[in-house]
């Protein structure tokens, strides 16, 4: 209570004053104590301190269940028609973008005009109230419904609460897994299916969009996620980017056969992009700032920009915007600050890309991630990091990929890249001669190959 | 109009019209209701700001090893440099996150042991980076040590005698640490490596050294693995690229290979291998295996608070085994390592009562030895290239042990009692356990396991002290020979029987 009150009072001070206090040699200690929530990042560090100084030996019951990996119990179905099943965590509207949207698009491409199709929601226990436009005409059913009671067709089964329930599994059901725990579950349904119908195990399709063990510290979830890449049965990998597939190859994971698709420039952005041969770049720095996504290393981005603001007084003349997620302003030196724009509309995003001179977008993962590519496509001089086999600087001269992205290195790189804007407020930058994105045409030209490899009829 | 509603209107008018009041109201609202605080400073990386320590010769001239946050003043301390000044004798500084008794075991204890072994009578300081003050000082371990604060160091800049000091310094904002031209640093956890490098760089600038003194970096795990891919992951990973600014000491050759495969080499690299704790070794020597028959007991290394020990995975594996094995209720299952409530593992087929996992927490070494002597099977997981001691200890005490492989680590080759699972899923753990249980029933405890093996041989832990000291204390300047007072009180055990020193600038093989 007192702490919250103190923090409220603290945050009522103007940001410039707060930043001044925070960086003041004498008052900084006080500021830190007020501003930092107890048990926040500090205790996190304490846990790692002393090479594993034991945490509290309290009487709290330890967390043992990995709820999302609760197994699916199958039951026989008399229906013999083949069917492609998508295992998807959720269809909640606020989650249908990025990875989930890509999964839906790929799946719809894969099933083509199949009559029977089923989406199993592994983490959502109730029927979706609204369906994305992509799924117009799909019906929601209960997992207990007998297969075919209401005729076949395209159905959605919310199946998060499955501890004491079963799901009808046909002899010719084929599964497409997305997030690691959906693969974990599928890999334990397949042996049941093979045994129940007395046939060899079916191949399943694994849509891999990141190296998901990296979302966790070395831990139970890390191991279980990694184990899904080591499945001994037939496993068809469809990878979001060849870069990610190369990383998986280097780890020696076990996939029977793999395909990869490449990022496409969003249509709205592409239209904008095509309309301009030269971008008038002003003193604006954009950063991809998503505090809730650890692999975007938000703290590191801010520390790097803050370092730049300390070593380059000219930085005070720059507008510094954070895109991607709404958050409070971050104080910088010389009175400047990083202001969050939250999630922009595509038009606003295009406009911002077109006028911004510099960008910082970090991604600790072997996936390229879209923002640095989009920034470079719009002539934004962009700082990012390398990771294992990833080095985006080979794709565009506008990208600086730091091997060791320390705050100092990011700050120095910004200082260098800002040089052309030192003398003049607006610098024209030509549109890149060669696009960083794959061209038009089908995103998943291999959809029929995947069908064939999974033993489905090829159209 | 009643008084209260009038007051409300007035308050609302104030809130909307007077900017400071509006700001106060909004921020209070945010603090209590719509809390959105984005703290971008990582507390453990709060810079350690140094000042010149010239035994009171100069006024304090602050400089900063710019570290992480550039919030402090830039390195501008070259002004008062006096090149003719005599170089003081080396002073050894250990950077350790915690020094209170509850922190000093395992990795921290190893760091202290190495620091002691390196000591030949020089002045010593331990910079306790993450503790504001020490909860207690272990009188045995730190006999003769004094506890100082940054303020007490600052007040008088006392030319301390030989008394070694512990300096808790988590609260270091606005305070400085005196550093002289011959301070040497030894880092432990990853963020202390950032600090050590910054201090050494500051020292080089402040005293005009031809090059920065290399610091020792004791690497006992691949610490980025403690985090998801994130800012801390990145910052921890960067420390293994410090190259010729650091001398690396690796806890096990496996860890060195793992790090070496991902980063350029350090200036020098040394390796030590785990050895059985001396007290445990004594227990092992005095008890012959035949005097205590092994019981149907499974020991697990159960530390719910340490993610890489994968507590949930062990429990899930045990549950699957119990669910499949009707004889499971004949076994006692004991969790060691950390206190937690007893857990039900479910009832075996045909059984009515659930099998329980009994937690004993952290036990004393004699009790631990007795338990290992009397138990048949152990499970200890470690999701890291470091082996971790419990599986090795249990194997040395004649237990059959289930553990995991990890990205190149395979302990099965180290001891025939160790069974390492390539993919430690709950199913794999349950299957491995079923096999060991069946084998135990078949053998009836006879010829259950192989003898202790090399891990149990008592040996000097660090047999590279002389070359390590030489590399650490090498003069950065061209003037004068190495000044290291001989005949320190401690004599380090050098030239142990095993372990050849692996000091080569190249990558590990």
Per-residue pLDDT of chain A (459 residues; tens, 9 = 90+): 666 677 667 767 766 676 566 655 556 555 555 544 333 333 333 333 333 333 333 456 788 889 999 999 999 999 999 999 999 999 999 888 889 999 999 999 999 999 999 999 999 999 999 999 999 999 999 888 877 666 678 999 999 999 889 999 999 999 999 999 999 999 999 999 999 999 999 999 999 999 999 999 999 999 999 999 999 999 999 999 999 999 999 999 989 999 999 989 999 999 999 999 999 999 999 999 999 999 999 999 999 999 999 999 999 999 999 999 999 899 899 989 999 999 999 999 999 999 999 999 999 999 999 999 999 999 999 999 999 999 999 999 999 999 999 999 999 999 999 999 999 999 999 999 889 998 777 889 999 999 999 999 887
Whole-number Å distance between alpha carbons of B393 and B416: 13
CA quadruple B248, B251, B257, B261: dihedral sign = negative
Residues 6+ apart with CB under 8 A from B85: B54, B57, B181
Q: Which chain B residues are within 8 Å of A406, Cβ to Cβ?
A: 68, 235, 238
A174 pairs with which residues across the strands? A84
| Pairwise CB contact (< 8 Å): A41 & B40 | no
Quick one: DSSP state of residue B86? Answer: P
Closest by Cβ to A51, choosing from B107, B225, B303: B107
**What token pair was written down for A233?**
């049965």
Whole-number Å distance between alpha carbons of A284 and A380: 10
Whole-number Å distance between alpha carbons of B199 and B48: 8
Instruction: Give CA separation, A124 vs A68, A158, B107, in Å.
Output: 10, 6, 43
Residues 6+ apart with CB under 8 A from A94: none
| Pairwise CB contact (< 8 Å): A8 & B104 | no
Give the start-end residues of each E strand in B53-98: 91-96
Please report the DSSP string for B284-301 in residue order: HHHS-GGGSPPEEEEEEE
Low-confidence residues of chain B: pLDDT under 70: 1-4, 16, 26-39, 54-85, 154-161, 288-292, 445, 458-459, 476-509
Comparing CA positions, the residue from B22, B381, B338 lying closest to residue A57 is B338
Q: Which chain A residues are within 8 Å of B149, Cβ to Cβ?
A: none
Closest by Cβ to A408, choosing from B66, B98, B223: B66
| Pairwise CB contact (< 8 Å): B307 & A218 | yes
> Which residue has tokens 């269809």?
A91
Percent of chain A with pLDDT over 90: 77
What pLDDT is stored for residue B161 in this prediction? 62
ipTM of the complex: 0.86
What pLDDT is stored for residue B228 in this prediction? 97
Chain A's closest residue to B425, CA to CA, is A224
Nearest C-alpha of chain A: how many angstroms from B163? 24
Order of strands across the sheet that contains B295-302: B343-344, B356-361, B332-337, B295-302, B375-379, B400-404, B418-421
Q: Which chain B residues are within 8 Å of A25, Cβ to Cβ?
A: 49, 62, 72-73, 173-174
Alpha-helical runs (H) found in B226-363: 231-238, 253-260, 278-286, 311-324
B322 pairs with which residues across the strands? none
pLDDT tens digits, B37-54: 456 788 999 999 999 986
In total, the C-beta contacts within 8 angstroms joining chain A to chain B are 274
Residues 6+ apart with CB under 8 A from B471: B214, B247, B267, B268, B503
Question: Which residue in A217, A244, A291 has the most chain B C-beta atoms within 10 A of its own C-beta, making it the best mutation to test that interface?
Answer: A217
Q: Which chain B residues are within 8 Å of A40, Cβ to Cβ?
A: 39
Instruction: Give CA separation, A293 vs A301, A324, A363, B334, in Å.
Output: 12, 10, 10, 38
pLDDT tens digits, A75-116: 999 999 999 999 999 999 988 888 999 999 999 999 999 999
What pLDDT is stored for residue A38 in this prediction? 34
Query: DSSP 3-state assignment of B434?
Result: helix
Q: Residue A260: what are its φ and ψ, rounded to 5°?
A: -140, 145
Whole-number Å distance between alpha carbons of A96 and A130: 11
| Pairwise CB contact (< 8 Å): B41 & A330 | no
| Pairwise CB contact (< 8 Å): A12 & B20 | yes
What pLDDT is stored for residue B277 in this prediction? 86
- Is residue A304 within 8 Å of A405, Cβ to Cβ? yes
Mean of per-residue pLDDT scores for chain B = 83
pLDDT tens digits, B239-286: 999 999 999 999 999 999 999 999 999 999 999 998 888 889 898 888
Closest by Cβ to A220, choosing from B38, B313, B341: B313
Query: DSSP 3-state assignment of A240?
Result: strand
Chain A's closest residue to B309, CA to CA, is A219
Q: Is the pTM of this model over 0.90?
A: no
Ramachandran sector of residue A440 (left: φ over 0; alpha: ψ -120 to 50; beta: rest): beta
CA quadruple A402, A404, A410, A415: dihedral sign = negative
Chain B's closest residue to A407, CA to CA, is B68
What pLDDT is stored for residue A16 in this prediction? 62
Whole-number Å distance between alpha carbons of B30 and B27: 5
Whole-number Å distance between alpha carbons of B362 and B368: 9
Whole-number Å distance between alpha carbons of B62 and B142: 31
Question: Which residue in B14, B15, B26, B70 has the most chain A C-beta atoms within 10 A of its own C-beta, making it the best mutation to test that interface?
Answer: B70
Closest by Cβ to B231, choosing from A23, A65, A298: A298
Whole-number Å distance between alpha carbons of A349 and A355: 10
Closest by Cβ to A295, choosing from B29, B229, B384: B229
Q: What is the largest CA-CA distance in chain A?
A: 76
- Where does residue A188 rank: exposed (0-12), middle (13-18), buried (19+ CB within 10 A)? middle
Nearest C-alpha of chain B: how many angstroms from A215? 5
Residues 6+ apart with CB under 8 A from B440: B294, B296, B376, B377, B400, B448
- Is residue B249 within 8 Å of B259, Cβ to Cβ? no
| Pairwise CB contact (< 8 Å): A11 & B30 | yes
Whole-number Å distance between alpha carbons of A380 and A390: 20
Q: Residue B90: what are its φ and ψ, rounded to 5°?
A: -60, 145
| Pairwise CB contact (< 8 Å): A230 & B424 | no
């Amino acid at each position: 209570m007192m702490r919250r009150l103190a923090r409220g009072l603290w945050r009522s001070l103007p940001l410039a004053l707060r930043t001044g206090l925070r960086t003041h040699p004498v008052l900084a200690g006080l500021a830190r104590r007020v501003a930092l929530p107890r048990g926040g990042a500090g205790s996190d560090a304490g846990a790692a301190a002393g090479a594993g100084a034991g945490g509290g030996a309290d009487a709290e019951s330890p967390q043992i269940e990995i709820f999302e990996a609760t197994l699916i119990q199958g039951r026989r179905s008399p229906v013999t028609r083949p069917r492609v099943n998508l295992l998807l965590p959720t269809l909640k509207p606020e989650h249908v973008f990025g990875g989930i949207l890509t999964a839906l698009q790929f799946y719809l491409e894969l099933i083509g005009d199949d009559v029977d199709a089923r989406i199993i929601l592994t983490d959502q226990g109730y029927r979706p109230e609204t369906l994305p436009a992509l799924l117009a005409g799909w019906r929601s059913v209960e997992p207990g419904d007998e297969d075919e009671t209401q005729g076949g067709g395209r159905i959605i089964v919310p199946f998060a609460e499955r501890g004491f329930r079963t799901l009808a599994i046909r002899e010719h059901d084929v599964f497409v897994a997305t997030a690691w725990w959906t693969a974990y579950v599928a890999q334990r349904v397949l042996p049941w299916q093979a045994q129940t119908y007395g046939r060899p195990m079916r191949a399943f399709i694994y849509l891999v969009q990141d190296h998901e063990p990296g979302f966790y510290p070395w831990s139970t979830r890390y191991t279980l996620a990694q184990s899904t890449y080591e499945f001994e049965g037939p496993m068809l990998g469809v990878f979001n980017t060849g870069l990610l597939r190369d990383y998986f190859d280097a780890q020696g994971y076990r996939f029977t056969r793999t395909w990869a698709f490449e990022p496409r420039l969003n249509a709205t952005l592409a239209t904008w992009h095509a309309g301009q041969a030269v971008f008038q770049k002003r003193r604006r720095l954009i950063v991809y700032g998503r505090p809730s996504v650890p692999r975007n290393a938000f703290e590191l981005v801010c520390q790097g920009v803050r370092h730049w603001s300390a070593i380059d007084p000219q930085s005070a003349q720059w507008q510094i915007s954070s895109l991607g997620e709404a958050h409070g302003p971050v104080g910088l030196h010389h009175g400047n600050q990083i202001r969050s724009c939250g999630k922009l509309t595509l038009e606003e995003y295009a406009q911002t890309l077109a006028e911004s001179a510099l960008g910082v977008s970090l991604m600790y993962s072997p996936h390229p991630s879209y923002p640095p590519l989009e920034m470079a496509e719009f002539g934004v001089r962009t700082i990012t990091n390398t990771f294992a086999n990833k080095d985006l600087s080979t794709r565009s001269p506008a990208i600086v990929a730091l091997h060791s992205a320390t705050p100092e290195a990011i700050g120095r790189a910004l200082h260098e890249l800002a040089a052309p804007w030192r003398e003049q407020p607006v610098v024209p930058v030509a549109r890149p001669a060669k696009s960083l994105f794959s061209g038009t045409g089908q995103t998943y030209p291999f959809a029929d190959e995947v069908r064939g490899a999974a033993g489905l009829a090829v159209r | 109009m009643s008084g209260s509603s009038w007051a409300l209107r007035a308050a609302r008018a104030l809130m909307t019209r007077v900017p400071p009041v509006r700001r106060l109201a909004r921020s209070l609202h945010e603090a209590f209701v719509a809390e959105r605080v984005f703290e971008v400073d990582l507390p453990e990386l709060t810079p350690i700001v140094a000042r010149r320590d010239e035994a009171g010769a100069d006024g304090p001239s602050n400089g900063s090893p710019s570290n992480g946050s550039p919030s402090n003043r830039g390195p501008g301390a070259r002004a008062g440099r006096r090149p003719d000044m005599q170089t003081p004798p080396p002073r050894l500084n250990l950077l350790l996150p915690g020094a209170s008794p509850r922190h000093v075991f395992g990795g921290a204890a190893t760091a202290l042991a190495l620091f002691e072994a390196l000591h030949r009578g020089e002045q010593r300081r331990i910079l306790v980076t993450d503790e504001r003050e020490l909860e207690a000082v272990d009188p045995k371990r730190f006999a003769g040590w004094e506890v100082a604060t940054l303020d007490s160091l600052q007040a008088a800049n006392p030319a301390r005698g030989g008394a070694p000091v512990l300096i808790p310094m988590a609260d270091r904002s606005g305070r400085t640490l005196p550093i002289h031209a011959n301070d040497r640093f030894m880092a432990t956890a990853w963020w202390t490596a950032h600090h050590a490098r910054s201090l050494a760089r500051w020292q080089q600038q402040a005293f005009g050294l031809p090059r920065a003194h290399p610091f020792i970096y004791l690497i006992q795990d691949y610490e980025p693995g403690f985090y998801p891919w994130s800012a801390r992951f990145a910052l921890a990973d960067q420390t293994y690229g410090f190259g010729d600014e650091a001398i690396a000491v690796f806890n096990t050759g496996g860890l060195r290979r793992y790090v070496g495969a991902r980063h350029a080499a350090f200036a020098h690299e040394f390796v030590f291998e785990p050895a059985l704790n001396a007290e445990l070794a004594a227990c092992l020597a005095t008890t012959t295996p035949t005097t205590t028959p092994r019981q149907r007991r499974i020991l697990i290394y159960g530390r719910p608070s340490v993610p890489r020990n994968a507590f949930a995975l062990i429990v899930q594996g045990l549950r699957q085994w119990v669910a499949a094995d009707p004889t499971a209720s004949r076994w006692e299952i004991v969790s060691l390592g950390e206190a937690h409530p007893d857990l039900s593992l479910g009832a075996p087929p045909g059984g009515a009562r659930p099998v329980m996992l009994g937690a004993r927490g952290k036990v004393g070494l004699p009790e631990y030895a007795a338990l290992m002597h009397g138990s048949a099977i152990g499970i200890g997981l470690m999701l890291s290239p470091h082996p971790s001691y419990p599986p090795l200890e249990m194997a040395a005490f004649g237990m059959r042990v289930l553990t995991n492989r990890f990205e190149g680590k395979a302990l099965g080759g180290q001891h025939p009692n160790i069974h390492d699972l390539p993919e430690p899923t709950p199913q794999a753990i349950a299957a491995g356990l079923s096999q060991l249980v069946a084998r135990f029933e078949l053998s009836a405890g006879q010829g259950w396991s192989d003898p202790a093996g090399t891990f149990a041989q008592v040996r000097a832990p660090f047999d590279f002290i002389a070359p390590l000291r030489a590399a650490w204390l090498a003069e950065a300047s061209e003037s004068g020979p190495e000044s290291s007072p001989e005949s320190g009180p401690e004599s380090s055990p050098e030239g142990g029987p095993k372990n050849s020193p692996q000091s080569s600038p190249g990558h590990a093989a």
